Amino acid sequence: MRILLIEDDTVLGAAVRDQIAGDGHSPDWVTRLDAAADAMAGAAYDLVLLDLMLPDGRGIGFLKALRTAGGVTPVIILTALDQVSDRIEGLNAGADDYLVKPFDLSELSARIGSVARRYTGNPNPIVTHGPLEIDLAARSIRRANRPVQLTAREWALFEAFLSRPGQLLSKAQLEDKLYAFDAEVESNTIEVHVSRLRKKLGSGIIDTERGLGYRLGKP
């Protein structure tokens, strides 16, 4: 997933960025609300991690504006504000989850996965697709009861297909899921990753619509 992190604490921000990147996601990190608005205007994010106290304003206002404009991107609040009234305000403003600092980075990873599964309509972390058994929480795959190892980028690409079964995804959309805005993308990156997924998971796992994009193959 492509995730926007809005956090002005440089130590925590770096730790969260590294954690979610290590999980196979593509993080974009900004430290101000105006930069966050610019980032969301220029890219389609799968999830936002939002601090509430930022140099140029409160995250609650940003969240309310997002929801008022019809934005449905899931948002997890990350904040030191730990009063019940703060939690209620955040959830009523449209947050999908609320995590109080300091928090364990592994718990953050689990919460990201949980929110993502709810938005794809399947809260169950275990998914089957033909001979594949996929544990979304553990980020593991078994094919015909044998484990299959994917790299972080391969997993991120496969996860994009799983979250949109039957939907055609363009090469540009897939590149957007794999890379942050400051990363360079090789012209054949998607083709290489798709080829590797087919070798590991089965030749029919991903269908190609020539000139249009790719979609998850039928089980």
For every one of its 219 residues, what pLDDT tens digit does the chain have, with 9 covering 90 and above?
Answer: 899 999 999 999 999 999 998 888 889 999 999 999 999 998 889 899 999 999 999 999 999 999 999 998 999 999 999 999 999 999 999 999 999 999 999 999 999 988 988 876 666 678 889 999 998 877 889 998 899 999 888 888 898 898 888 899 999 888 887 775 555 667 788 999 999 999 999 999 999 998 899 999 988
Superfamily, domain 2-119 = Response regulator (3.40.50.2300)
**Per-residue pLDDT, 4:** 96
Which contacts of 83-92 are long-range, i.e. CB under 8 A and separated by 24 or more positions?
86/52, 89/60, 90/52, 90/60, 90/63
What are the residue ranges spanned by the domains of the chain? 2-119, 126-216
Class of domain 126-216 (CATH, top level): mainly alpha
- Neighbour-count burial for 159-184, b at 16+ CB within 10 Å, e otherwise: bbbbbebeeebebebbbbbbbbeeee
47 Cβ contact list (under 8 Å, min separation 6)? 1, 3, 4, 73, 74, 75, 76, 112, 115, 116
**Per-residue pLDDT, 27:** 92
**Closest alpha carbon to 113 in 172, 53, 159:** 159
Tokens of 36: 């966050």
- Could you tell me the pTM of the whole model? 0.73
**Per-residue pLDDT, 25:** 87
Sheet hosting strand 126-129, strand order edge to edge: 126-129, 132-135, 140-143, 146-148
What residue type is assigned to position 95 of the chain? A
CA 212 – CA 2 distance, rounded (Å): 21
